[in-house]
């Protein structure tokens, strides 16, 4: 909680002003019963109308002050809480953006979304309630006890004994509820995860008629959330009957003993009324404690979850040797005895992998699923750090390059085209936002997309749906390629990015890439692609099985020849 509350720092003035008006409103509320005692004892009991009118006027004036204080308190409390929520959400988003891939494996996407939305909102609302109501309730209880003691010590002792018992009980409820609400937030993560998977795969679900199965998954997750929430709320609701029992018992005791004190001359009617008034105000304040416990319990759980993300150690950062002076100039790439396994696993995806690529060469990477092809693409831009060996670019260890400098020199096209809501132009400029319109057009031409764009009524201003749902698979791939080409990268990584292209379009694309002075890596399953590359890397189980040109591997590698024959026929392999 301390970590989260530190975000209140920039809003100290707003918090101070909100607290000032809270105290003003509280002071009026505490003084009112005291004035009422004067009206009863000195005015009504003495039949002095001037006293009633004078102190009655004071009460009206104080009520106006309390009303104005409440409005101003709400304004400044909202400013502080909303500002803190904004800053907290921004800090969380920035932290998540700095995560390495291994960090993302620790936090499911659904959990991160919940933490940046539901958990931050919970903190935001709790801060507002704290500045508006929550601080006022305990202060009202304490102030009422003090004022009651000033009015009549004997009768006030009843409250002195009752309040500590209630507070001890409420603290126990708060601690227990806090643990329960932490579990509730975890169950909310599960519900969000099921919803996210369902919406992302809705086409597949409909195609396989799996709606009933998905309904069952969602129902189970939702029921778990409901049951945990009910259990947490039930724990909190225990507090209300106990509060009313003890406070109503206190009122009865005050009336009972008060009647004897009035008869004996030890108390006046006004004093008894004043203490009863303080007790009823305390009862109302104590009834708010159930809400306070719920808000604080949920806020504490949310604060812990938020702090976990903010305190997460980023395991992939610039090293002390990293320098912005080290830049990619040629695009020479070397893997030297590289070994790698994903965090939390024991199996090596790559083992003792070595190869060298000259600047400007075009490299095809082939291999079965799980051979380590995509892993190579994740290691070149240093999305993961290797476990052994060394990766060099232009004879520089990539760990000696600033991450931003390294990645700005790389154009990456993933296997699954990822587009963003916006126009076609926006998606291309996503690769380099300061590019000119002429460069956008040229990138689209080289990606073999320009003719398609011209057919759209809005051309480059055509609005794309989420993930580019209004484009075909091939159009998505070519748009992703255009986004990478506009960067004018020194290293171009194409992860099976021409799988949806026909032979003619792919050939035109490969010819257009000759206009770019970059080293190109292409993961592919098509021999027709590797035939147009300078080097072919054939991987098997994370090891380099063969390396050479298409012609060399066709003569020297039985596996490559087998792949070739499966695509072109056995007769072609014997030619």
Q: Is the pLDDT of residue 290 over 70?
A: no
DSSP state of 9: G
| In a shared domain, residues 248 and 345 | no
Shared-domain flag, residues 185 and 282: yes
Co-location of 466 and 521 in the same domain: no
Mean pLDDT throughout 382-405?
86
Percent of the chain with pLDDT over 90: 1
Range in 48-57, 170-179, 212-221, 418-427 with the lowest mean pLDDT: 170-179
- The answer to whether residue 444 sits within a structural domain is yes
- Does some domain include residue 566? no
The CATH number linked to 6 is 1.20.1560.10
Helical spans, DSSP H, in 107-238: 109-114, 120-129, 136-151, 153-200, 202-207, 211-237
Answer yes or no: do 329 and 274 share one domain. Answer: no
Compare 569 and 84 and report the one with higher pLDDT.
84
In a domain, 558, yes or no: no
Euclidean distance between the first and final Cα of the chain, in Å?
73
Best-predicted range by mean pLDDT (281-285, 316-320, 554-558, 565-569): 554-558
Q: Are residues 236 and 363 in the same domain?
A: no
Q: Is residue 559 part of a domain?
A: no
Reply yes or no on whether the pLDDT at 298 is more than 70: yes
Residue 435: give its domain's CATH number.
3.40.50.300
pLDDT at 324: 63
**Measured between alpha carbons, how far is 570 from 575 in angstroms, rounded to an integer?**
9
Q: Using a cut of 0.75, tell me whether the model's pTM lies above it.
A: no
Q: How many CB atoms lie within 10 A of CB 558?
A: 10
Q: Are 474 and 505 in contact (CB under 8 A)?
A: yes
230 plus 364 within the same structural domain:
no
Residues 299 and 341 grouped into a single domain: no
Do 492 and 521 contact (CB within 8 A), yes or no? yes
Parent domain of 511: 316-409+491-548
| 505 part of a folded domain | yes
Task: Examine the pLDDT at 102 and tell me if it is beyond 80.
Answer: no
Among 461, 488, 515, residue at a domain's last position: 488
Q: Is pLDDT above 80 for 294?
A: no
Please tell me the least confidently modeled range out of 232-246, 333-347, 398-412: 232-246
pLDDT tens for 461-470 read: 888 866 666 7
8 contacts 77 by C-beta, under 8 angstroms: no
Q: What is the pLDDT of residue 321?
A: 63
Residues 22 and 84 in one domain: yes
The total of other beta-carbon atoms located within 10 Å of residue 335's CB is: 22
Please check whether residues 166 and 288 belong to one and the same domain. yes
Top-confidence residue, 359 or 417: 359
| pLDDT score for 109 | 76
pLDDT band at 323 (very low <50, low <70, confident <90, very high): low
Q: Where are the beta strands (DSSP E) in 463-532?
A: 463-464, 491-495, 519-523
CA nearest to 257, candidates 164, 148, 158: 158
Are both 292 and 435 inside the same structural domain?
no
Residue among 409, 398, 456, 463 nearest 431 (CA): 409
CA angle 372, 373, 379 (to 5 degrees): 85
What pLDDT sits at residue 395? Answer: 85
Whether 295 contacts 123, CB under 8 Å: no
Does residue 173 lie within any of the structural domains? yes
| Gyration radius of the chain's alpha carbons | 35
Please give the Cα distance from 69 to 432 (Å, whole number).
52
pLDDT at 420 over 60: yes
Predicted confidence at residue 203, as pLDDT, reads 65
- pLDDT at position 410 over 80: yes
Q: Does some domain include residue 554?
A: no
For residue 40, what is the DSSP state?
I
Domain end, chosen from 488, 509, 534, is at 488
Picking from 192-206, 216-230, 244-258, which range would have the lowest pLDDT averaged per residue?
192-206
**Nearby residues of 313 by Cβ (< 8 Å), 6 or more positions away:** none
Q: Looking at the 3D structure of the chain, how many domains does it have?
A: 3
- For residues 299 and 323, membership in a common domain is answered with no
Which of 295, 310, 325 is a domain's end point? 310
Shared-domain flag, residues 339 and 425 = no
Cα 291 from chain centre:
26
Does the pLDDT at position 574 exceed 60? no
């Amino acid at each position: 909680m301390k970590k989260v509350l530190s975000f209140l720092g920039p809003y100290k003035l707003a918090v101070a002003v909100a607290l000032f008006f809270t105290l003003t409103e509280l002071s009026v509320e505490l003084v009112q019963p005291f004035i009422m005692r004067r009206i009863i004892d000195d005015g009504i009991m003495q039949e002095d109308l001037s006293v009633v009118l004078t102190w009655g006027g004071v009460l009206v004036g104080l009520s106006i002050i309390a009303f104005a204080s409440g409005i101003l308190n709400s304004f400044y409390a909202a400013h502080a809480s909303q500002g803190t929520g904004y800053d907290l959400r921004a800090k969380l988003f920035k932290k998540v953006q700095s995560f390495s891939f291994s960090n993302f494996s620790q936090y499911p996407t659904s959990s991160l979304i919940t933490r940046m939305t539901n958990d931050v909102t919970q903190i935001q609302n709790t801060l507002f309630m704290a500045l508006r109501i929550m601080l006022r309730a305990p202060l009202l209880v304490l102030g009422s006890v003090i004022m009651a003691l000033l009015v009549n010590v004997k009768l006030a002792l009843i409250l002195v004994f009752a309040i500590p018992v209630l507070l001890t009980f409420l603290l126990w409820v708060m601690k227990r509820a806090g643990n329960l609400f932490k579990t509730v937030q975890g169950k909310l993560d599960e519900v969000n995860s099921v919803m996210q998977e369902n919406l992302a795969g809705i086409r597949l679900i409909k195609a396989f008629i799996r709606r009933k199965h998905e309904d069952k998954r969602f129902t189970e997750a939702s029921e778990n959330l409901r049951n945990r929430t009910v259990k947490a709320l039930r724990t909190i609701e225990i507090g209300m009957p106990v509060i009313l029992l003890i406070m109503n018992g206190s009122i009865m005791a005050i009336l009972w003993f008060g009647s004897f004190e009035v008869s004996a001359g030890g108390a006046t009617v006004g004093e008894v009324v004043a203490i009863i008034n303080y007790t009823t105000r305390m009862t109302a304040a104590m009834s708010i404690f159930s809400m306070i416990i719920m808000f604080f319990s949920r806020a504490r759980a949310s604060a812990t979850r938020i702090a976990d993300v903010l305190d997460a150690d980023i395991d992939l950062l610039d090293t002390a040797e990293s320098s912005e002076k080290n830049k990619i100039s040629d695009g020479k790439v070397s893997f030297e005895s590289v070994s790698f396994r994903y965090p939390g696993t024991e199996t090596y995806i790559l083992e003792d992998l070595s190869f060298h690529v000259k600047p400007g060469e075009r490299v095809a990477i082939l291999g079965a699923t799980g051979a380590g092809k995509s892993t190579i693409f994740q290691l070149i831009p240093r999305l993961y750090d290797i476990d052994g060996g060394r990766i060099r670019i232009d004879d520089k260890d990539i760990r000696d390059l600033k991450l931003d400098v390294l990645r700005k020199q790389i154009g990456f096209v993933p296997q699954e085209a990822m587009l963003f809501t916006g126009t076609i132009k926006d998606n291309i400029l996503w690769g380099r936002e300061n590019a000119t319109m002429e460069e956008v057009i040229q990138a689209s031409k080289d990606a073999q997309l320009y003719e398609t764009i011209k057919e759209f009524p809005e051309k480059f201003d055509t609005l794309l749906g989420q993930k580019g749902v209004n484009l075909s698979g091939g159009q998505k791939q070519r748009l992703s390629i255009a986004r990478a080409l506009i960067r004018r990268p020194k290293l171009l990584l194409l992860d099976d990015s021409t799988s949806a292209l026909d032979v003619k379009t792919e050939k035109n694309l490969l010819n257009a890439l000759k206009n770019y002075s970059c080293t190109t890596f292409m993961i592919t399953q098509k021999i027709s692609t590797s035939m147009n590359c300078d080097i072919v890397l054939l991987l098997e189980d994370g090891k380099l099985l063969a390396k050479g040109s298409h012609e060399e591997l066709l003569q020297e590698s039985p596996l490559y020849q087998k792949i070739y024959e499966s695509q072109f026929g056995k007769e072609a392999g014997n030619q």
